[in-house]
Amino acid sequence: MLIRLSQWAIPAAMLVLAGCTTVAPNSIREVNEQNVKGCRFLGNVNGSDAIFVGLSSSIGSKNAKAKAMNAAVDLKASDIVWGQQGTSATNEWVGKAYACR
């Protein structure tokens, strides 16, 4: 029984780690609408993760946020305003990217 468990433990751990999205190094500030009044709107960004739901929904939410942040990095954004933040039901983050600096 112990051998069987260890045979599944390593592949399961690798699957979990492979599913994680990392955020590209950045200095993007997460702000509200008041902070971007004088900034240039660059575009909408979003990220979602349907793989991790239920008990692992926090991982899915982090992955979704990382995907949206990476999209903001690609736009060369300095600031992001979130319109929708991931929940256990959606795991989707939607925001607006701005250039303020």
Taking only the tens place, the pLDDT of each residue in 48-58 is 887 655 656 67
Mean pLDDT of the chain: 78
Find the largest Cα–Cα distance for the chain.
63
Residue 78: the pLDDT is 96
Domain span at residue 30 reads 2-99
Q: How confident is the model at residue 9 (pLDDT cuts 50, 70, 90)?
A: very low
Please state the domain count of the chain.
1
* Mean pLDDT score, 29-38: 95
pTM of the full predicted structure? 0.71
Q: How confident is the model at residue 13 (pLDDT cuts 50, 70, 90)?
A: very low
28: domain CATH number is: 3.30.110
Distance CA 37, CA 51 (A): 36
Q: Which of 50, 101, 51 is nearest to 78 (CA)?
A: 101
For residue 6, pLDDT over 70 is answered with no
